[in-house]
Structure formats: C-alpha cells, structure tokens
Amino acid sequence: MFASKTTVYTLLVLSCFFTLYLYQPFGLYFLNDDFIHIPLSEKGIYFQTHLVRPVHEFLLHLEFLLFGKNPTGYHFTALLIHLSCTFLFYKLSKLLLFRYGGFEKVQAKTGAVLVASLFLIYAFHSEAILWILGKAASLCVAFFLTSIIYFIKKNEHKYNLVISILCFQVGLFTYESIWISPLIILLITLMEIRINKDNKRKEIIALLFYWSSFVLFLGIRYFIVGRMMDSYETHYLSEFNFRELFLNYNRLIARSFLPPMDSTQLFVLYYSIIIIVVAIMAIVLMRRFKQNLLFIFLSFCFLISLMPYISLGIDTHDTESERFLYLPSVFWCLTVGYLFLKGNVNNTLKLSCFILLMLFHCYYTYSNSYDYRMASEISKSSLVDVNNYSKVNSAVCVKNISKQFNGVKIFEMGFKEGLHWIYQTDTSKLVLSNFIEIFPINKSISFFELSQKFRFVPTKDPLPEVKCTELEFVYNYKLFGESK
C-alpha cells in the first residue's frame, strides 16, 4: 500500500504548500476576545477570568513583546505551532503503527507520513489555527503528543517518564482538552501489559505516577480558583440534562468528519450514512484482524477525546467551536489512515480515495480561511471607522456592529476593549446597539460586494435612551463601513 516513497513524499510536500496557501496568516487580524485577553497578558496577568491557562497567556505576553499590536506575528506563531503538532503527530503515528499495528518500520513510516499529511490540512479544527486565542488548543496538543510519545518510550530511558509527566503538567496549565490524557495512558498501559505481562508491575507503577500528577493538578487548580471545574465547562452536566449531552456528543462526532450545513435534516442524513459505513468497515476489519489492538485503541481514544466538550457541544451550521476538534482530529486522522492501510482494496483505488479525501479537506480549509480573512477585514475596518468618528464627536452610538461572520466571532465581545487597546480611544461615551450576524450566500464574493450577497440577522437589542451621534455601519456594494 503506497509503497512508492516518491508518491508519499510528493503528497507531503504538496500538503505543506497547501498549508501555507490555505491558511494565509498574513491576511488575518484580531477577533472577538483577542482584544480582552491579549492586553491582560501584556500586563502579566496569567490567571484570567475563570480560566487556568497561564502557559498560553505567558506565550501571548512573549508575542506582544515580539510583535506588539501587529496581528501577523501572532497568526504566524499559530501556524508554526500547528506545523509542530503535525511533526509530533507523525512521530506518534509511526510509533503506534509499528508497536501496536503490526506494521514493519518502513510501512509504519509510510503510513505516518500519509496521516500526518491529512492532519496538516484537516479542515474542521479551524479555530485552533486561524483565531489567535484558539491556538491554546493546538499548543496544548503539542504537549499532549510529546507526553504520550515519551510515555510509550518510558522503558528506553530512565528520564522518559519524567519528561512525559512534565509535558502533561505543562499541558494541563495550557488548555482543558488534555484532561483526557490519563485515560489514554490507561489504555496504553493495558496494551503494554497485554503485549508483555512480565512488565505488569512496572507499567502499573508508571500509570500511578501519571495519575498522581493529575490529582496534584486538580488540587492546585482548586487552590487557585476555588473549584476543580468551572460552570462554563459543566453546564449540562451539573443539570443532568442527558438529552442535551447526548445530542452534543453526536454533534461533536459528526462534525469531526462533516462540514457545517444550513440544513439540519441533510446533516443528520449524511451523519447516519457515514456512521453505517464506518460501522460496517469496523466489523469487517475486526473479523479479519481479531487481535487488532490498535484499531480498538484508536476507536476508544477518539470517543474519549470528545468528552471534555460534551457539555459545550459544537455548531452544525457554521465553524464556531471547531477548536474543540483539534485533539480529537489526532485520533480521527490516524483511524482513517489506518483503515486505508488495512483495507483489502486495490492500491490504485486506495490512492484515488485518499487524494479525494485530501482535496475535500483542502477545499473546506480554504473556505474556513476565507471566512476568517473576511471577518478580519470587518474587524479592522470597523475599529478604524469608529475611532475616526469618535475623534470629532463627543458621544457616538454605533449601530449594526458585526457580531460574527458565518460563525467566525468578530465582536461578540471586545469591541470597546479593542478600540481602547489599538487606538487608546476614550470609550466612556461610546454606546453600542444593534449587533448583526452576517452569513454569506455566495462565498466567491469579494470584500466589497457585501450588500448584494449577504443576509443580515439583526439582534433584538433595544435602542439606548442616550442622546448621541449615530454611526451606522452600512454594507454597501462599493463601500464598507461608510459613516452617516
């Protein structure tokens, strides 16, 4: 399967070029609560609001020292983190395929290159790469992958277990998705014991050390914020709303391989078809390879990796919350690649299907990147217009502020904070009213064709009882954000 190294590395090189072209970090700007958390990190505040993410907030502080208020540097850093995760994912994939998948070293390396290429351009974790604050998810995955790699290799060097636990601890103070790591380590331990029962005692001791480090973190978190978990993360769990939890979980599974759709019925239909096809493939695979540990391991890991977000869910109509899929995509991409490798189908057909899958993700990655570039233009232009208008008017009432663009958050929060941070604008007399959401009808439009190609959904915020000069954003055919 894919025995030709030329074919494999050609795909990898093309994927890298696609990545640079598709994400285009130079066309992105600050969005939403970037305007809140970056200024806090600039001041050295590392435990912001209800979050315990000081590692990412420290990175934001370093980025501010390097790039100041230039968004390009922040987005370039996000892309570098994603490329680092891709390399670590390649290393982990090669290790898992060789150690537990029954592949020879050359086969494992070939398979790892293929799944890493898919992960590199995987379309449905856009927030983790295209939104500055979203890169906390990808940064955390870098520590997660390193921790798992060194835990598997813990018997090769006496310090590997220590490195694994240290990376796990750093990841815990980066983003909450890594909370599933102890369960992944448990599964790895069970596989190791099955492979070599003589190491049972040693494996259990290593597992206990790892789990003890997680208990230590929970104690530190409770000391810092007064609780182990926040209500934001456990809303439906605390209410025992099992129906919503079930729906959220299925939405997360579906969005791992399906793009957002306007029609809920069509989305459910596609989801059902794919689940049936995957189930049939899994049954056939398990019958042919009854001792297949890796397939069982990957299946459980994927399902477990979605659990931290079961109370939050994900949108099925747009790209909001796709950062939640960054870590699960590790196991999804590896599972898909593994099914391709193990499938008893003609190699030419396999290669054709894999290329089609890559093109599918390239298309949607570009589509998501385009949305973020459009949202960035709206964000930047809106702040410029209001700042200029505020200079000649003592009190300004701003109407039609863009809340989001096709699911990409623009100013759901952070508008006043952005004005103050970027331009030092006095926002004490600035009144915000009538936020709108923008949904593109034709995604091939240019930035200056907004009024004819977009539908607007205004919120029901009442107009303020304040005497002020009105600034209304009008999305014209030729002009954007024209002052009236």
Among the three residues 329, 344, 359, which one is the final residue of a domain in this structure?
344
- Is the backbone of residue 424 left (phi > 0), alpha (psi -120 to 50) or beta? left
- Is the backbone of residue 434 left (phi > 0), alpha (psi -120 to 50) or beta? left
At 430, is the secondary structure helix, strand, or coil?
Answer: strand
Instruction: Check residue 402 and report its DSSP letter.
Output: E
Identify whether the C-beta of residue 133 lies closer than 8 Å to the C-beta of residue 168: no
The predicted structure's pLDDT at residue 101: 84
- Examine the domain organization and report whether 315 and 403 are in the same domain: no
- Examine the domain organization and report whether 104 and 195 are in the same domain: yes
Strands (E), 81-200: none
- Say if 124 falls within a structural domain: yes
Query: 466 lies in which domain range?
Result: 375-472
The predicted structure's pLDDT at residue 162: 95
- Say if 367 falls within a structural domain: no
Identify whether the C-beta of residue 98 lies closer than 8 Å to the C-beta of residue 83: no
Q: Is the pLDDT of residue 475 over 60?
A: no
pLDDT band at 173; cut points 50, 70, 90:
very high
- Examine the domain organization and report whether 162 and 230 are in the same domain: yes
pLDDT band at 466; cut points 50, 70, 90:
very low
- Say if 479 falls within a structural domain: no
- Say if 483 falls within a structural domain: no
The predicted structure's pLDDT at residue 27: 85
- Say if 204 falls within a structural domain: yes
Q: Is the pLDDT of residue 176 over 50?
A: yes
Question: Which of 7-16, 29-38, 343-352, 405-414 shows the lowest mean pLDDT across its residues?
Answer: 7-16
- Examine the domain organization and report whether 272 and 228 are in the same domain: yes
Cβ neighbors of 66 (< 8 A, separation 6 or more) are: 73
- Examine the domain organization and report whether 397 and 251 are in the same domain: no
* Chain-centre distance for alpha carbon 6: 31
Q: Is the pLDDT of residue 55 over 70?
A: yes
- Say if 352 falls within a structural domain: no
- Examine the domain organization and report whether 271 and 411 are in the same domain: no
The more confidently predicted of residues 140 and 353 is: 140
- Examine the domain organization and report whether 326 and 379 are in the same domain: no
Tokens of 151: 């835990």
- Say if 356 falls within a structural domain: no
The CB-side HSE value for 219 (13 A sphere, CA atoms) comes to: 6
Split into its structural domains, the chain has a count of 2
Size of the chain in residues: 484
The more confidently predicted of residues 437 and 177 is: 177
The predicted structure's pLDDT at residue 478: 32
- Examine the domain organization and report whether 222 and 334 are in the same domain: yes
Tokens of 316: 């099925």
- Examine the domain organization and report whether 290 and 340 are in the same domain: yes
The more confidently predicted of residues 440 and 278 is: 278
- Examine the domain organization and report whether 409 and 337 are in the same domain: no
Q: Is the pLDDT of residue 62 over 80?
A: yes
Q: Is the pLDDT of residue 192 over 60?
A: yes
- Examine the domain organization and report whether 392 and 319 are in the same domain: no
- Examine the domain organization and report whether 97 and 173 are in the same domain: yes
- Say if 174 falls within a structural domain: yes
